[in-house]
Amino acid sequence: MMLRTLLCVPALLAAGMFSTACFAAEIQHQTDYSIALAGLPLARASFHTEVDQNRYTISGTLNSAGLVNIISPTSGQTRVSGMIGRNHLQATQYSMSYRSGKKSRAISVSYRNGNVVRASMVPKRTPLPKNWVPVTSRDMRNVLDPLSGLIIPATTRVCPNTLPIFDGESRLDIKLSAKGKRNFKTKGFDGEVIVCGVRFVPRAGYKKGREDVEYLRRLETMEMWFAKSDSVDVYAPVYVRIPTKIGPVIVSATRFGG
């Protein structure tokens, strides 16, 4: 779950590229991110957005870098499509696949009106461990996908806020708390951002008592920074900091619009 969580971070940040595009026909947009651990490069991610009238598609790739690419090459792909509503993005289809060393997994989720109608994962976890917390039908109601879920309309408070995420296997809450404002500069953006504290709350679809899950659950020093788009009235992430026992994982937008 830790691996998938870290892979999801740049995927979550990919939603930020959408905020720099206008809701018009046939818009295409590219955004890039860097991922580092204690200052050492872990991976690079690139995401592409297409908007055609009231429909959107976000697709992205992630590839390991530095020593990680030598020791355990990792790559991932993700994609989400859906409809543009008045106040939010409503996904209809989400998928993610990744390979790390000899391990690989593919996840697909279909949504209707915010509810999960189908979810698959290949290969499946069989048999499930005794300490597995199962996902129930209630857990898959009124949820967000990991990509569109972090688009927050300017008319809605960014933090405090609770984002109910279902990623195809696990149901979790991302709880945001207000921590002030900072300045952030990257290609395409230079201005003030909203800083939120982040709490990771597992709900279902994980092994109870697992060390990495419990570490994230107890962690109180994660941060996520949200930038406001000049062209669309929404906020989206440009920076995430996740402390670990060997140094912080930093995911930062190297390009945000422009």
- Residue where the block lists tokens 């000049």: 230
Q: What's the CA gap between 184 and 131, in Å, rounded?
A: 42
The string of pLDDT tens digits covering residues 165-220 is 999 999 999 999 999 999 999 998 899 999 999 999 999 999 999 898 899 999 99
Structure tokens at 85: 């509503």
Q: Where are the domains of the chain?
A: 2-255
Mean pLDDT of 91-103: 90
Q: What's the CA gap between 47 and 9, in Å, rounded?
A: 13
pLDDT at 238 over 80: yes
The string of pLDDT tens digits covering residues 61-77 is 888 887 666 677 888 89
- pTM, rounded to two decimals: 0.84
The string of pLDDT tens digits covering residues 27-45 is 666 678 898 888 888 888 8
pLDDT at 49 over 90: no
- Give the distance from CA 195 to its chain's centroid: 17
